[in-house]
Amino acid sequence: MTFLKINNLSVDYKMRKETVNAAKNINIDIKKGEIVGLVGESGSGKSTVANAIVNLIDEPGKVSSGSILMGETNISGNPETIVQYRGKKIGLIFQDPQTSLNPILTIGEQLIETIQTHLNLSSEDAKNKAINLLKEVGIKDAEKRFYNYPHQFSGGMRQRVVISLALCCEPELLIADEPTTALDVSIQSQILELIKRLTKERNLAVILITHDMGVIAETTDRVAVMKNGDLVEIGLTKQVLVEPKEKYTKSLVSSVPPTNKKISRFTIIEKENVSDQNNNVKILNRWSKKIIVDQNLIEIKNLSKSFDDSFFTENTKNSVMAVDDVSLNIKEGQSFGLVGESGSGKTTIAKMVVNLFKPSSGDIYFDSVNVTKIKKNKDLLKFRKQIQMIFQDPFSSLNGRLKVKEIIAEPIKLHNPDIKSSDLDSYIHDLLESVELTQQSAIRYPHEFSGGQRQRISIARALATQPRLLVCDEPTSALDVSIQAQILNLLKDLQEQLNLTILFISHDLPVVRQMCDKIAVLKDGKLCEVSETEELFKNPKHNYTKELLKLMPKIESIYN
């Protein structure tokens, strides 16, 4: 029995230059008791569909055609009906639990307010109901926690509170927009379990929006794949993921890093607009070839870093140990993975390796030179040349006021001040070619490129000094999965051709498995385990590693 029926829904955004069709003739039916996944890359229109259901489309967007039926009632086109439905019959969960709660009200006040807006209950009854709800979503000591403010909860707990808010008026439809994207893996699995349990117990219809194929595979009953506002494919999750009919779905599934095996390259079916041939011969000629000796390029010895809040307290005991006594060795030519959840200290280690932070104690040796002790500017420059970094956010890592040409020229000119301008141009050209960008890219500004293309520019800039070590700090976390696959392929190719050593930092275990030879697992600044990649995935020794591996969402789970 269909509960929610989306009929030929189209949403248009009338922009200054053109009209963007954010959703085109979407038809989706949802039954009670089932979770329907809405999956797609950024800009595919998945959130637009959800916002259209609750009539929360931002200006200048408009539903241009179609209808949404809930039971027998048409809820589109009638703002008054939808205001009554929102919160009462439809519950909403948003991505960021930090911002979806009001920080100056206790969670109890927020729950009671919502309950009393929609249900005719006395304060006492509303309070009892709220406490029961908190218990239902798995918050311990609900009677006490009822009086706490949002900042007193952790991210996962806060998302549970958000879910209890969404559920407090007995909705029949739950819309969850990327509910676990801001959370760590271990918390993600708990929240997904909770949503699954509630769906069954309360017989809810659930729309789960996500970009994560693993989440889709583990949670949803049916899935709708969207691209550029079109509904590409809809069907049972298993069917869509195992035997995708459409080319786009196939490319999407093949871009997902498998969790159970290591593959040499990702198969790319639909490539982003970049030049096809990867021609690294030219840049290779410029590279001073280094023969790999079986030696450590980086040795980290008892490295610690503490951030003290001397502003708030004199007591140094309160200082946070971001990195606590970590020792690691990275061999020349190796790609070394650093894995951990947020706050585990992985980025801090990276920033110490590239000499952006000074360690509180411990030493870092690069090619047997203690880099923490480098004093002279000239020596530091020589060291800088050999280590480069690629950042997570492709939008903030390029200076928007400079042309791509100028961005890439900066490191070249700095380390080779006498370079002739014709040489410079051809070098920039070769670098762009090596990251599969066209020559015309040089005279454009960063904002004219997509996230993946910007990340390529970042890589070209990093390669300009001909480094031996490339530190990649979550280089693909901000990218869509198909773009991620292309960037990972590119990094692999470059590493092979240029004999780069890579320090690869990520929270995403499947990605690390594809990229790295050796992996170190970090938790709260401490090292848990270091071992060869396949060994780590097959025989994890540390309990924390075992838990991480168990909890990561696996697209392969669909086969079971």
Tell me how many degrees the CA angle 21-99-338 measures, rounded to the nearest 5: 90
- Which of 236, 281, 293, 443 touches another protein (CB under 8 A)? 443
Q: Does 400 contact another protein by CB under 8 A?
A: yes
Distance, C-alpha 404 to centroid of its chain:
25
Q: Does 451 contact another protein by CB under 8 A?
A: no
Which range binds another protein by CB under 8 A, 25-33, 105-113, 220-228, 397-405?
397-405
As measured in angstroms, the least distance from the Cβ of 470 to another protein is 11
Taking every pair of Cα atoms in the chain, the longest distance, rounded to a whole number of angstroms, is 80
Question: If we measure between CA atoms, which residue out of 439, 417, 427 comes closest to residue 463?
Answer: 427
- Which of 5, 118, 290, 385 touches another protein (CB under 8 A)? 385
Q: Could you tell me where the DSSP H helices lie in 137-228?
A: 142-145, 155-167, 185-202, 213-219
CA distance linking residue 300 with residue 234, whole number of Å: 50
As measured in angstroms, the least distance from the Cβ of 474 to another protein is 11
Q: Does 381 contact another protein by CB under 8 A?
A: yes
Q: Does 397 contact another protein by CB under 8 A?
A: yes
Q: Does 476 contact another protein by CB under 8 A?
A: no
Torsion angle defined by CA atoms of residues 267, 273, 279 and 282, in that order, rounded to the nearest 10 degrees: -150
Q: Are strands 73-74 and 35-40 parallel, antiparallel or unpaired?
A: unpaired
In 3-state terms, what secondary structure has residue 127? helix
Instruction: Dig out the tokens for 277 from the structure.
Output: 């041939």
Q: Does 19 contact another protein by CB under 8 A?
A: no
Site for another protein, residues 293 to 352, rule: CB under 8 A: 351
Which residue lies nearer to another protein by CB, 275 or 304? Answer: 275
Q: Is 117 left (phi over 0), alpha (psi -120 to 50) or beta?
A: alpha
As measured in angstroms, the least distance from the Cβ of 465 to another protein is 7
Q: Does 284 contact another protein by CB under 8 A?
A: no
Q: Does 279 contact another protein by CB under 8 A?
A: no
As measured in angstroms, the least distance from the Cβ of 462 to another protein is 8
User: x/- site string to another protein, residues 132 to 171, per CB under 8 A?
Assistant: ----------------------------------------
Which range binds another protein by CB under 8 A, 4-12, 307-315, 432-440, 535-543?
432-440
Q: Are strands 518-523 and 335-339 parallel, antiparallel or unpaired?
A: parallel
Q: Are strands 205-210 and 173-177 parallel, antiparallel or unpaired?
A: parallel
As measured in angstroms, the least distance from the Cβ of 139 to another protein is 34
Quickly count: other Cβ atoms within 10 Å of residue 530's Cβ: 19
Binding residues for another protein, total number by CB under 8 A = 41
CA distance linking residue 226 with residue 43, whole number of Å: 9
Quickly count: other Cβ atoms within 10 Å of residue 509's Cβ: 24
Chain positions contacting another protein, by CB under 8 A: 16, 59, 273, 275, 351, 354-356, 380-381, 384-385, 387-389, 391-393, 396-402, 410-411, 414-415, 437-438, 440-441, 443-444, 448-449, 453, 458, 461, 465
